[in-house]
Amino acid sequence: MVRSAITWSTTAFLILIWLPLLAIRRLLDRDPVHYRTGYLFRGLGKALTKANPSWKLHITGETIDDPRRPYVVVSNHQSLADIPLISNLPWEMKWMGKKELFRIPIVGWMMSLAGDIPVDRKNARSGAQALIQAQRYLERNCSVMMFPEGTRTLDGRVRAFNDGAFHLAIRAKAAVLPLVIEGSFDCIPKNSWKFGKPSDVQLKVLPPIETAHLTMNDLGSLRDQARRAIMKQVAEWRGVSIERVDGTVPLDKL
């Protein structure tokens, strides 16, 4: 309890000092996608990771040589901790998130300053507008980050993927870059203010999947290819079969 209270106090302090820095950076940022502003905001995630004594992050996998090559980045989603943890990757990408997050004082303001993309998951028109905005970022050489499961996993397994990220990738002819995160499920338990037990978190960048030759007829296979690659890595880390981490397989069938 004491450790959690200290960590939350440190988190609040970092957020408060980051807001004016981000506002100043945005005023000076002439890039149409506000790349440096967004990258400064991700720096908050790095600071929060370092400030939390319970989190030990290990990043492996592909090296991205050109940070301005645009990718549609997709990842499995285990907990709220995924956001600051993934922000440790050394390039900027605009995050697509539910509109409610943008209404949170200070944090929501910073998301807007960084150019992140709000979406109302209950409104199909909002989803379409968000994808249009995401494509504009890609066209201006800035990656976009999405959780295709739509929400956090309830049991640590990988849920079904939505089509949106893969529709965007094919339409924009942007490669899909899968990420795999493992070990963050208990970092911030649902419905609790206490941080979980100390965790070693694995974050791996998988090889990109090119889309230049694909059409919308390939959407399903692209989605399934990315999801299977993510599940395969999670299963390998856990030492189980892919079926054991597939959230679409009923538990009584395992």
Q: What is the CATH number of the domain that holds 70?
A: 3.40.1130
| Res 217: pLDDT | 98
Choose among 145, 165, 179: nearest CA to 220.
165
Choose among 7, 50, 42, 8: nearest CA to 22.
42
- pLDDT value at 229 more than 70: yes
Q: Could you read off the pLDDT of 131-181 as tens digits, one per residue?
A: 999 999 999 999 999 999 999 999 999 999 999 999 999 999 999 999 999
| Res 193: pLDDT | 65
- Residue 191 — pLDDT band, cuts 50, 70, 90? low
- Residue 123 — pLDDT band, cuts 50, 70, 90? confident
- pLDDT value at 192 more than 80: no
Give SS3 for 239. Answer: coil
| Res 114: pLDDT | 97
Range of the domain at 15: 2-253
Percent of the chain surpassing pLDDT 70: 99
Percent of the chain surpassing pLDDT 90: 85
Give SS3 for 199. Answer: strand
Q: pTM here?
A: 0.94
- pLDDT value at 190 more than 80: no
Say if CB 167 and CB 226 are below 8 A apart: no
| Total number of domains constituting the chain | 1
- Please count the other Cβ atoms lying within 10 Å of the Cβ belonging to residue 59: 15
